[in-house]
Amino acid sequence: MEDSVVIRMRGVSKSFGNNKANDNVDMEVRKGEILAILGENGAGKSTLMKILFGFYTRDEGTVEIEGNVMPLVYSPRVAMEMGLAMVHQHFKLVETLPVAENIVLGAEGKVARFVYDKRKTREKLKSLYDYSGIHLNSDTLIRDLPLGDRQKVEILKALFRGCRTLILDEPTAVLTPQETENMFSLLRNLREQGMTILIITHKLSEVLQLSDRVLVMRAGRVAGLFETSHTSEAELARTMVGYELGSSKTIRQSCSSLSPTLQLENLSTEDSAGCNLKGLSLSLYPGRIVGIAGVDGNGQRELVEVLAGILPLSSGTVLLNGSLFDMGRRKLAESGLRIIPEDRHRQGLVLPLTVQDNIMAGYRNRIDMRKGPFFDIEAIHSFTDGLIEDFDIRPRSRELKAQQMSGGNQQKIVLARELSESDLSIIVASQPTRGLDVGAIEFTHSQLLKHKNEGRTILLISSDLDEIEALSDEIAVIYDGKITVQRNADDFDRTTLGLYMGGGREDVV
């Protein structure tokens, strides 16, 4: 072999209970390449990287890093000493400290022996900035940085510790298209400098743009290994999911002739710990899907909480079918608004309760489910069994606890509860397919499209632009608690969408 191998994993297996997360996985990483590890959620990509980085102990197999055979148990600290570094999906930064201190934190020994010297540290970091091509102000506090820059700080942290192999876990999940492009050129630059880069992702387009080789994983096994230049998106997709994909796409329709079902005007909030709404206006139409694009944390969660009646408004008005709706006194749920929340585990389900209890939580007050003060057990059983059948929830058991179900089936429980009431008129779907496998994504999309065609009003909030573009009739962009633009979906392309998501205004774009 002409390239020198930096990392070699042979026959690596790891089980969690009965679940084989990794099953006899072989992986070789060559020096100075960008290797993409592609797979659906739960395919075992993260597990494999965590084994490599020493977070998990493998059950079987061998691991070699730069020619050193690694013992069965070793800590991330050892892995770091061997030149590995990992940038996690959730950043591990101290928000109240400046960039420079975050970079050296934990490795202060490299700049000072006894007394920490702020100025000397900044001198030292300059060469690091030049080497990496990342230029940040050392004194900016992390909390004032956009997410894209925070990720760069994570990468600088890794470089500062002298890493030679960089592992990135879903690095683009929180970035706008522009920031993503920026990140990619930065990674290419690092590769030119001799850095080896492993990138975990489930986005095909990124793989094709960035990587030299692709390792595709499916159900814990290696499903294929490709030279990026010799493969196609279709081939990768087929290898990743194991079958040909259909695709749910909406037939786009215009909203201009319709009168809106729900109009939000200048909504503001004050009580959220996250990003408060700052005069958000939005219109939703019957039989149409309005998609909200935006980087996470720009008020999406707050918007959903306002609609759920959890977060109080400080100002603004809500019009339902043209007449004023008093959010302080009534809940939109009474008027047929149902929410598919973004966080299944916290907002959508009570994990320790059974499937039946989770479904009944949405129908607990229905008279036909009662016998006096008690639940009518027969009625409940046939009702939940019917929904389990209709929504194809597997295994077909109402007695299992929600936490025993797979992610896709958990989402189906949520869908079964929220989308089966007869008075359903407005659906708010927030990140409805996050973390789902392809089959469950298709099911969720087909449900949304079905309700659209039946004339219901749908608000789709998603950070997945592919999803937004595939399903929406109109697209609105949320930035810093405001809708900056709402237009026909056809009027957007990726670039303009990206500019708006990054904070661009109508007059600038």
Partner 1 sequence: MILSSILRKDRMITFSKTVFSVFLALLFGSLFLIFLEASPLEVYGVMFERAATSFDLVLRRAMVLMMSGLAVAIPMKAGMFNMGGEGQIVAGALTAAVVGGLDLPIPAGFHTVFALASAAIIGMLLSGFSGVLSIKRNVNEVISTIMMNSIIAYIATYLVMNPFRGSEFSPQTAKIKDGASIPSFFGLDFSWALVFAIFLCISTYVFLERTPKGLELKAAGLNPVFSRYQGIKVGSMGLLGMLLGGAAAALGGAFEVLGGSHSYTDEYFLQYGFDGIAIAFMAGNNPLGIIVSSIFMAAVRVGSLAVSRRTGVSTYFVSILQGLIIVLLVVPYFSDSILAVIKKIFCRKKEVDHV
The contact set with partner 1 (CB under 8 A) reads 308-310, 331, 333, 339, 341, 346-353, 357, 360-362, 364-365, 370, 373-375, 377, 399, 401
Smallest CA-to-CA distance from 110 within 129, 124, 126 is with 124
Q: How far is the CB of 333 from partner 1 (least distance, A)?
A: 6
Place of tokens 């065609």: 453
- What is the H or E stretch that residue 265 is in? strand 262-268
Closer CB to partner 1, 239 or 430, in the complex: 430
Q: How far is the CB of 299 from partner 1 (least distance, A)?
A: 18
DSSP strand pairing (60-65 vs 68-69): antiparallel
Closer CB to partner 1, 222 or 380, in the complex: 380
Q: How far is the CB of 437 from partner 1 (least distance, A)?
A: 23
Closer CB to partner 1, 219 or 351, in the complex: 351
Cα separation, 272 vs 193, whole angstroms: 44
Cα separation, 119 vs 440, whole angstroms: 53
Closer CB to partner 1, 294 or 309, in the complex: 309
Torsion of CA 236, 238, 241, 246, to 10 degrees: 120
Place of tokens 């008020």: 299
CA–CA distance from 268 to each of 260, 318, 337 (Å)?
Answer: 20, 11, 20
Cα separation, 418 vs 338, whole angstroms: 6
Q: How far is the CB of 141 from partner 1 (least distance, A)?
A: 30
List the structure tokens of 246.
């259909």
CA–CA distance from 260 to each of 24, 194, 454, 457, 493 (Å)?
Answer: 55, 56, 16, 9, 25
Q: How far is the CB of 229 from partner 1 (least distance, A)?
A: 47
Smallest CA-to-CA distance from 118 within 94, 132, 101 is with 101
Closer CB to partner 1, 30 or 401, in the complex: 401
Cα separation, 441 vs 436, whole angstroms: 6
Closer CB to partner 1, 219 or 333, in the complex: 333
Cα separation, 240 vs 243, whole angstroms: 8
Q: Are residues 236 and 204 in contact, defined by beta-carbon separation less than 8 angstroms?
A: yes
Closer CB to partner 1, 173 or 359, in the complex: 359
Q: Are residues 260 and 284 in contact, defined by beta-carbon separation less than 8 angstroms?
A: yes
Q: How far is the CB of 414 from partner 1 (least distance, A)?
A: 10
